[in-house]
Amino acid sequence: MTDLAAILDNLDDIRVQTLLRLDSLNQDELDLVPSAGPGQSLEARWSLGEIFMHLALDEHYLREHIARPLLEGVQPPAGVSFLPPPPPYGTPKDVILFWFDRARTLTRRLVENLPANANLALKHSGGLKPMNGLEWLEAYGGHEELHHRQIDALVAQLVEPLRLVGSFKFGITGPPGVYSVLGSTNLTTWSAVGVATNPLGSVIFHDVSTNVSPQKFYRVLLQVPPANMVFVPPNTFTMGTPANEVNRQADEGPQTTVTISHGFWMGKYEVTQREYLAVTGSNPSGFPGDLNRPVESVSWLDATNYCAQLTQQELAAGCIPPGSHYRLPTEAEWECAARAGASTRFSYGDDPNFTGLTNHAWYWFNSGVGTHPVGQKLPNSWGLYDMEGNVLEWTLDWYGPYSGGSATDPQGPVSNPQGVKVIRGGAWDAGEADCRSGRRLTEGVHPFIHDYILGFRVVLVTELQ
């Protein structure tokens, strides 16, 4: 068992970091709220101030419902919840600082005398296993570290861009939806500035680019939802798998807190043979006969060329907004969409015996040695089909190790000495464990490298030009 003094020192180190971060933010910055859409957890919608206040309340609950009963040698009352109430909180900075300092001081004073009753196991509601006092403190330290990473990711996403010289913000009011934001210095030439997600009818947009021009004009266009695409909102998720995940591979860690700072549209289905034929005039698939099957036997170069041709055709036809283009998803975007807010082995749960996989994926057990028309299995909670099977999917990224810690919009290494890209998702010939959300595989980039199991899906983005 870990020593009490070491646990307390670790907690103090974490709290000092949190308080330093809190002190560096002003009230306007504490009130910033990340964009979040359907399927996002409540925590993904908390303002920075609410996260800090939640940590202060965590301290209160730690003291009153864990430390104090242990010191008194009694069990907490039956049915006591160890979780503080959720936001909304009042989050003035001076109030947060007061509660943080008060909770920190009183908690340490109580816990310093803990060893006499440290082995008292707590029985409580909520489905958590009973833990003794030291185990609770250690678990709480990990919980606070998680929130600290969440704070760092949100500061990088929401605060740091606003501190750039030349940043500008303005309001967008209109029907809920996704808006393309274009900018111009002369009202003649327009370029993409970004995308705004407006879930409630009014939103503040920040142009974080450095503007050296004395004036800038903006126009905002409501995007028409593209056919057969799903919008993935900006959000933060944990990429990679925990060390105790069954069937985990070494390259699935270290787990990294990833912030996707931009929203994007992702294909609801894998690109079909029909779609590929319509854009390129060819169908390389090894399983012809039903054009609603996913296209396969495509190289990474084939997939990226398809994206470029589709972009050119749809821009010319006015089907997508100026500044938008199709591309392959980054590995982080793919895993974020595949998990759909979940942290389990599959988007629908851990499924330790793989009893539910046949409802969600085509793989070796049920595929009949071949692909199947897209969309026949259950989608994940965000409405994306075949993320666990049918064909493996090319991503944009070169293969490389995860960074660990926190990262915003990671795109993998700049190259790979073996010349391999990341491919994701299961395939019709895959084993059950290879269909997990965190599973990583690779394939080389070469015009002649293609396989009956290799396909792709596209994302549509509006990015700076």
Segment 151-165 shows an average pLDDT of: 75
CB contact set of 29 (below 8 Å; sequence gap of 6+) = 48, 158, 159, 162
Residue that finishes a domain, picked among 161, 191, 213: 161
Residue 109 clears pLDDT 90, i.e. is over it: no
Quote the number of domains for the chain.
3
226's tokens: 């593209």
Residue 356 clears pLDDT 80, i.e. is over it: yes
pLDDT of residue 251: 97
Q: Specify the residue for token string 């833990």.
A: 131
pLDDT band at 230 (very low <50, low <70, confident <90, very high): very high
pLDDT of residue 1: 43
Q: Are residues 298 and 447 in the same domain?
A: yes
Q: Are residues 339 and 296 in the same domain?
A: yes
386's tokens: 């075949």
56's tokens: 């202060």
Task: Output DSSP code: residue 225.
Answer: P
CB contact set of 296 (below 8 Å; sequence gap of 6+) = 284, 285, 286, 287, 371, 391, 450, 451, 452, 453, 454, 455
Residues of the chain by 3-state class (helix, strand, coil), percent to 5: 30, 20, 50
Output the domain CATH number for residue 106.
Answer: 1.20.120.450
350's tokens: 């851990």
Q: Which of 159-163, 273-277, 406-410, 458-462 has the highest mean pLDDT?
A: 273-277
Residue that finishes a domain, picked among 199, 222, 245: 222
Q: Are residues 104 and 206 in the same domain?
A: no
CA 180/CA 36 separation, integer angstroms: 17
91's tokens: 């989050």
Q: What is the pLDDT of residues 384-402, one digit of tens each?
A: 999 999 999 999 999 999 9
CA distances from 91 to 29, 47, 207, 286 (A): 11, 9, 26, 59
Residue 179 burial class via C-beta count within 10 angstroms: exposed 0-12, middle 13-18, buried 19 and up? buried
Name the residue range of residue 186's domain. Answer: 165-222
Residue 242 burial class via C-beta count within 10 angstroms: exposed 0-12, middle 13-18, buried 19 and up? middle
Residue 14 region by backbone torsions, left for phi larger than 0, else alpha for psi between -120 and 50, else beta: alpha
Strands, E assignment, 30-175: 168-173
Strands, E assignment, 308-419: 324-327, 392-398, 405-408
pLDDT of residue 112: 63
Strands, E assignment, 312-403: 324-327, 392-398
Q: Are residues 204 and 236 in the same domain?
A: no
Q: Are residues 152 and 30 in the same domain?
A: yes
pLDDT of residue 465: 42
Q: Are residues 205 and 314 in the same domain?
A: no
Q: Are residues 172 and 43 in the same domain?
A: no
pLDDT of residue 448: 81
Residue that finishes a domain, picked among 181, 205, 222: 222
Q: Are residues 152 and 175 in the same domain?
A: no
Q: Are residues 203 and 239 in the same domain?
A: no
Q: Are residues 215 and 332 in the same domain?
A: no
Q: Are residues 358 and 425 in the same domain?
A: yes
CA distances from 395 to 257, 303, 316, 443, 444 (A): 19, 9, 26, 10, 12
Residue 62 clears pLDDT 60, i.e. is over it: yes
330's tokens: 């980054």
Q: Are residues 123 and 185 in the same domain?
A: no
182's tokens: 């274009």
List the single range of 209-223, 292-306, 357-371 with lowest mean pLDDT.
209-223
Segment 168-190 shows an average pLDDT of: 85
Which residues on adjacent β-strands are paired with residue 173? 202
CA 190/CA 323 separation, integer angstroms: 9
Q: What is the pLDDT of residues 366-386, one digit of tens each?
A: 999 999 999 999 999 999 999
